[in-house]
Structure 1
Amino acid sequence: MRRGTFRDETVDYAAVGATQAPDLMQYPPEKSIPAEESWRLGSGEARFRSASEDLLSWVAQKAAGMQLEDIRPASGPAYQGVSFDDEGHPITPSRTQAEQRYDADGTPYVGAGMTVRAHGRVGGHSAEGEYRVIFVVEDKRRVGFGLGTVGDCVVSGEESFMIEWYSNDEVWFTVRAFDSPRAFLYRTIPGLTKRRRKALFTQYLRAISPLYATTTS
């Protein structure tokens, strides 16, 4: 099915929340490159809770090599995004306003509408830019969020991170994204966008998967 768009002047693309659409890989936003990867993290509630806690405390981004700063909460009511069931029907967001939490270093946990500036390189590719948390999902068996570009990034687009605890007790981590090249080099060499995305996905997995021992900062 096709999707509508949610326009918000704080981000630099139109299809806000599109990483949650079930047909993203078939019908990505115009002129963007879609990507999706899923990894099994293990099984059981303890694994789900641990991975969810890591995800919402920015472990994936920090362990990927990004330095996060200037983290600002939403100035008003935030767009919560839209989730979809297995048949493609929209699901009402699990909560409209999450209580703000902080990690041991005092860094705010992910919150809808929050903006953050990232510095660093991943696999030789720039991760510089300002981003906005588009939506946050915190359900009993599904936790995650979406991150969209605001500006100063080599690509324009969105990525979503989701931890799911399935009925067979398996825990899976799925990252979905769509990127539209903005920097001159990325526009002239399209393959760079895909290589950058692959490098990011690999580092996100290393950060969240129990198979890798990663030190965050």
Structure 2
Amino acid sequence: MADESDAPPFTYPETGATSREFPAGYHHFRLRRRIGAGRDLFESAAEQVLTYRMQRGAGIFGSASTPSATPGTALTVRLGIGPLAITAPCRVVYVLNEPDRRGFAYGTLPGHPEIGEELFAVDYDPTDDSVHGLVAAFSRPGTWYTRLGGPVTRRLQHYMAGKYVDAIRPA
């Protein structure tokens, strides 16, 4: 991992806001979907989330500077298809390591077509033994083509969130 003092700045000032109330001026998105039950599933899914399984399973993982998410990890995702795909840089803002919730959030860096932050997590509800995948984000267009994409871009975000959660669902 590069020295953070040499790292490019995030493209938004509200760094870490996926852990609290989302800031105004952005599109807000949350998907929480049940993937199964049991503490063993939670532990397995948590490990998968922290090792980028959501991104890999959705087919957008590019690279990461660490094998599992840690604050400051630089990573890239590939958005688009074939020669139209772009490499979008991100950096891990924080990691969740709570007894019943694990995951990480990354924020956009210069060169990413969106501006904002996205959380990828799994949580366990001890009251009913259920396990849920969670994707939450606040974002706004960062380029002319994402502004032009408007509603299509938002539908794509919803579709990809479902793919992220499906990537950690047991077979």
In structure 1, stretches of 5+ residues that fail to align are 1-7, 74-107
| Residue matched to 1:194 | 154
TM-score scaled by length of structure 2: 0.85
In structure 2, stretches of 5+ residues that fail to align are 1-6
> Aligned partners of 1:154 and 1:126: how far apart in 2?
11
| Residue matched to 1:165 | 124
| Residue matched to 1:42 | 36
> Aligned partners of 1:42 and 1:63: how far apart in 2?
18
Does the CA-based 8 Å contact 2:88-2:112 persist in structure 1?
yes
Q: Higher helix proportion, which one?
A: 2
| Residue matched to 2:4 | none
> Aligned partners of 1:121 and 1:42: how far apart in 2?
30
Q: 2:136 aligns with which of 159, 176, 184?
A: 176
Percent of pairs identical after alignment?
Answer: 27
| Residue matched to 2:24 | 29
CA-CA distance at 1:111 after TM superposition? 0.8
Aligned residue pairs, count: 162
C-alpha spacing 1:192/1:151, structure 2 compared with 1 (3 Å): farther
Counterparts of 1:68-87 in structure 2, within 5 Å, are 68-69=62-63, 71-72=64-65
CA-CA distance at 1:118 after TM superposition? 2.2
Residue type of the alignment partner of 1:16: T
> Aligned partners of 2:109 and 2:48: how far apart in 1?
24
Residue type of the alignment partner of 2:31: E
C-alpha spacing 1:13/1:118, structure 2 compared with 1 (3 Å): same
Q: Higher strand proportion, which one?
A: 2
Counterparts of 1:1-217 in structure 2, within 5 Å, are 10-21=9-20, 23-24=21-22, 28-30=23-25, 32-69=26-63, 71-72=64-65, 108-121=67-80, 128-168=87-127, 169-210=129-170, 213=171
Residue type of the alignment partner of 2:156: R
TM-score scaled by length of structure 1: 0.68
C-alpha spacing 1:66/1:160, structure 2 compared with 1 (3 Å): same
**Bigger Cα Rg:** 1
Q: How far does the alpha carbon of each residue in 1:67-125 deviate from its partner, in whole angstroms, 9 at most, with x for none?
A: 322x336xxxxxxxxxxxxxxxxxxxxxxxxxxxxxxxxxx111111111222437xx9
